[in-house]
Amino acid sequence: MAKSFKFLAVLGGVLIVIFIIHLTSLYYLNFPLFKNQIVLSYLVNFILAGIILLVIQRSLNKKSSQAGFIFMAGSGLKFLFFFLIFYPAYRADGSMQTIEFVTFFIPYAVCLTLEVVYLSKRLNNQVY
């Protein structure tokens, strides 16, 4: 369980760095900084990644072969949150702009990448 919390700390740190880079890029491109639910996007992705990780961790501790299915269900959950929370706001003006999509996709991609790396290392160290 300590490894899970260490991973969540690393994930949080990486997301903070990416968030700062994201805001800096928006600033230099003369886009509004805190528009398009950017803070909510980073928070939702971090929280969902944490929940998914802890559920998978519990599954792995029981030597369950269901970890891959749980991971896929977690990815589906993230998309469900996107379509329930973010998509209606992004489509409110009739179209979704690239900047709106990127606001959700950057933290999603970062979380997904780090989850895959962490979980693949955990799976490679499993004893069968």
**Looking at residue 1, what is its pLDDT?**
63
**Looking at residue 126, what is its pLDDT?**
60
Q: Is the pTM of this model over 0.85?
A: no
| Structural contact between residues 56 and 74, judged by C-beta atoms closer than 8 angstroms | yes
- Give me the domain span that covers residue 89: 2-124
92: nearest Cα among 34, 27, 35: 35
pLDDT in tens, 53-84: 888 888 777 766 777 788 888 888 888 888 88
pLDDT in tens, 13-41: 999 999 999 999 989 988 888 887 889 88
Structural domain total, the chain: 1
The larger pLDDT score, comparing residue 94 to residue 53, is at 53
